[in-house]
Structure 1
Amino acid sequence: MQRKLAAILAADVVGYSRLMEIDEADTVVRLGTTRENMIDPKIAAHNGRVVKLMGDGELIEFPSVVDAVRCAVEIQQAMAECNEELPPEKRLEFRIGVNLGDVIVEGQDIYGDGVNVAARLEELAVPGGVLISGTAYDQVERKLDYGFDFLGERQVKNIEKPVRLYRIRLGDHPRTAAAWMRGKSRRSWLWLSAAAAALVLTAGSVVFWSYSRAPSVEPASSARMEFPLPDRPSIAVMPFTDMSGDDAQQHFADGMTDSLITDLSKSAGLFVVARNSTFAYQGRSVAVSQVAEELGVRYVLEGSVQRAGDRLRVNAQLVDALSGGHVWADRFDGNVADVFGVQDAFVTRIVEALNVNLTGTERTEIARGRTDSLRAKEAFDEGWSLYLRFNADDNAAAVEPLKRAIRIDPEYGRAQAALALVYFRIEDYAWHEEVLFRLDEYVWNQQYGAPPRVAVCRAFEYLENATRYPTALGYTAQALAHLRFGRAEEARREAGRAIELGPNDPEAQIAMAWALTTSGEPNAALGFVQKALRLNPNFPSHYVLAHGVALFAASDLEQAAEVFDQGARKNPNATALMPPFASVLAGLGRREEARRKLLAWRPGSNQAALEDLARDYKFPIRWAPEYKRMRERLLDGIRVAALPLDVTVSSLTAELKQDDAADRRIAAKRLGWFGPSAAEAVPALVMLLGEDGVREEAVQSLRKIGSGAKAAIPALAAIEKDSFIGGHAKDALKEIRGD
């Protein structure tokens, strides 16, 4: 029986039976959506693990009480904001109990007094409240700035000793109060702008479609859907058609489309397909039914924009693809300066038409990501569209318009975050040369030195600015920045915040996937990858990289090879996929194919250059220190892919018996690159453990062979106290024994 000390959070929905009686289907869907888009990201951000779901209840384990209590408070604060906008009969309220105690571990499940106390505390908590035990309070009293009320001791069912009870005062938490005041200001601004736009729409436009007379379109078929329809209203916003006849206005039309996607994506009650996937249809004449079936959505928003000087006309219609009828349609005629109010009004009308409520947090986030300057918005739209094309030239071209947006509005947090991402990409993919063609090379080299250093400096400069004006995009950029240094836990926290603020943002899902993969949880990462792929069916190549590497880390090489192959076929120019693809193929023994992938990455390389590739390869994401051997495994696969095809485990084993010590050392080292498949070389490697100059490589190779090197255990145990090689021998024994 295995026991351990754990922080346990127990939660359940207040009045769940009553809610089910009122509307069973709606309650189930809303609870599922709340868990997926609000609660699960917070759990992941605070390093929690869902042990089990029990209808309306949930049991979660955390590595620290601080994480558990913070998560509980953030869940209740978020639920309070959500419920603020709902009638009483629609509100989901949770009771939460947190305990630190001893638990019994059985597989993935836990039970015992530690769990029982958390469950009893949850039962005693008030709706919307958090109750913690004395053992939990003792750990967080001086570490968290929440207010606590001591409620005395209480005898609880099946627990011998009374339990000290502490209630967290959620209402007087200083950070909560400050956030509420900021939110109140933002909400007021948002609704005033929406109201103003509604007046403009009423006075200056005509409704040019009506529900009864709108022409129907051919209905989509559920049976032909590429993906199952989500459990909430799903929508694809098509690129608005530019009717101006001026190519220079295309950025404006694209920007309006992008803004609507971004704003709607903030709603956890909607499923919104990402920009990349809908913009794939730009310039093509496609039926609504085709779009709905290919992207797996029920609703499609179409529109057009016509701008002439300061005048603006916008048409929009929301179509129910399954019925072929129009759900909502409207037209705006007015001044370009009113564009922000028009966007707010359109978002409000769309969510109302789909019977979705925007929470206070969602409205605040929509407002926070905006700028009040039309010129800044236009510059951002131009730069962002270039960044999303994911190639060196367009990435370089994105720098100038994004800088222009920031010069116009220095508090434009989304533009600051976008520019940080542009510079990170310059560094990650070595796109410095393209930037130097566009920027002042003299200033760069004189002021900062080599271009790679400049790119990183600039990225962190803009990222720091973005943190002053936080947005979902900013949190995603921060997560990726942490991942550059192997800070996976910090990356999980920031990615969780990004998902909370932008539940339909696939980039935030990919950031969370990387954080989980590099912290030893690749199977959990695959769930976030799948969410990103579903939100963005026409996904870019870096999703393939995250997907394939997660599968590699989960030791599913066959599936990883298939994912990389599909990604390479979809985008032959995505050469950044080739090194990990080659590593996976080498691990599968498909070395000739692996070698071709390396040559596709570095065409014309001779044998010496190929063998240097692994040394020079810079993977843009680092594993957490305790999981850095996964990176070693990836690089070893690249090394095997670069070897001449006649270099095999058998030939290297034979070389271990050569007279030249240098040849034996090289052969011993190369055998380790083959990992478990080099098990046949174990006896020969054991023979080298007593030979100075070679035994270190022999020990390291035995470690990499792992469980297949059990025959080496006695020999390794005999040298684990050696002052020079003993540490390596201990590491090898751990890997071989599976400790």
Structure 2
Amino acid sequence: MKRKLTSILAADIVGFSRLVEAAEEATLARQKELRLSVFDPGIKQAGGKIIKSTGDGFLAEFSSVVEAVRFAIAAQEAVRAEEESVPQDRQISYRMGLHIGDVVVDDGDIYGDGVNLAARLEAAAPTGGICISAAVRDQIVGVMDELFADVGELTLKNISRPIRAFVWPPDQGGALYTATTPPIEVTSKKPTVALSAFEALGNNDDAKMLAEACNHTVEAALANLTGLDLIALEAGPDHIATAVFQASGNQVRATLKLRETSTSATYLTQRMNGDLSDPFVAEDLLSGEIATTIRYGILQRIAERAAETETNDPEAMLNLAGHYMMGSQPEEWEAAGRLLDRILTLQPRNFMAVGMKANTLIGELVWGYRPIRPEDIEAADAGLSKAVSLNDQSDYVHLIRGIFHYGITGDLDAAVRCVERGFEISPQFAQGHMVLGWIQNLMGQPELALKSIKKGSFSLAKNRIYHRVPQALAQTYLVMGDFENAISNANRALQNSPGLPVAQLYLASAAGQAGLPDQGVRAREALLASDPDFRISGVRRFHFQDPTRWGAILDGLRAVGLPE
């Protein structure tokens, strides 16, 4: 049995089955063209040869590891350039893995641990990127090692030992991650939380029953979350939540505390009030507030730590990206997008990162009024479809799909179905109630919208995302013709989030429709100061089922003198 030391490159098309199903002939034709124009001549020039071809990839070997790496980078850049003119969801992208090792040679084929390792590194590579072993990296030191980011030790399928790996991941703009980019740790875990038994002070039996009922309801809500793991107290959680209930007559107060076990610090305390005259309503209200506060309180704590320490842990970066996306400024959403790109280079199947990245592309629907670029709509649609296929049990992903229908397709019935699917997973989902209110407002149901928005508002009162509540109320009151409340809530939204674009729009329209010249001038000047190029004709259409409602909002903008 003949053996030799060689450089092995494994390459594979990402999502080949999906591409073929969507456009078989076009995909196969472009795959053949890439083979003839990029891979065959490039491999030959680098002194290598293709050992075998598979339906969606190939295995090649090279006598020089430096030439193998040079070929891999050049090939990935060439493929990306060739596919730029193709719609994003139809583009061909490759993953590549490269290892240098001892192989068995048999009748023109090669086998052994070195081949297996190259194949597993390929599977770990980012879309359009290359994953190399430490053995390869050692051979390119001083030549091109600075192009690869150290990602630490990976646990690869069917490989018994951890493998030190390095990655060449082009970011969305085509630049490379260099040695100055902080390494991304791919071995991370979700934050864990445990509930300490909720208790009631005093001898009020109703309060005791409510504490116990809320404990069970909150436990069920947290168990369904995809971003947190609910575990037992004795299992050593990262965070512990406890709540104490007190009653006086029909009034009940619950005080929630969140404690971080690593520091023993109580970092969040929040009081919530309910009415014992209807125990079931009190349970729904208080358990919703408690579950939501635990959810966002923990994630905000992690995000703050991530911002302070510049962590490279993917779960922490996810939470930091989420923290940015609770804001209303384009710069914050762009920063979130960059974090998500870093995660997706190494974890392309991270459903939450995929869904959040899609959300960043259509963030204007949440906080702005400008049109969304067609290419961003297409990429967001594809990303949301992928996120749902990766995990159908995420309330967040279904919510963003609902927002997509609300703001892009205008299919409001589909938007409602998406939000309701989120409620099936997490009935206490506060953001879901708020977004349902947005949709109901467009459907001509402002009274229902008010109820939905207010239902979500109780749970979001101390959250960074809270500005979206008065923002939504401002739109609803504007549609109802209650301009006083529309103005009041638009101002509240702007106090919570200065410069919030869509709140400025609602404020100007409400002042114009109400015939308030002084307020109209102030609102107009504030909007133009934030957006000097503002034109009414450039405002994205909001999909009201009754077009006269949207026409009235635009007429309000004209009334304050905003340029057409």
TM-score (norm 2): 0.46
Structure number, greater radius of gyration: 1
So what's the TM-score if we normalise by structure 1? 0.36
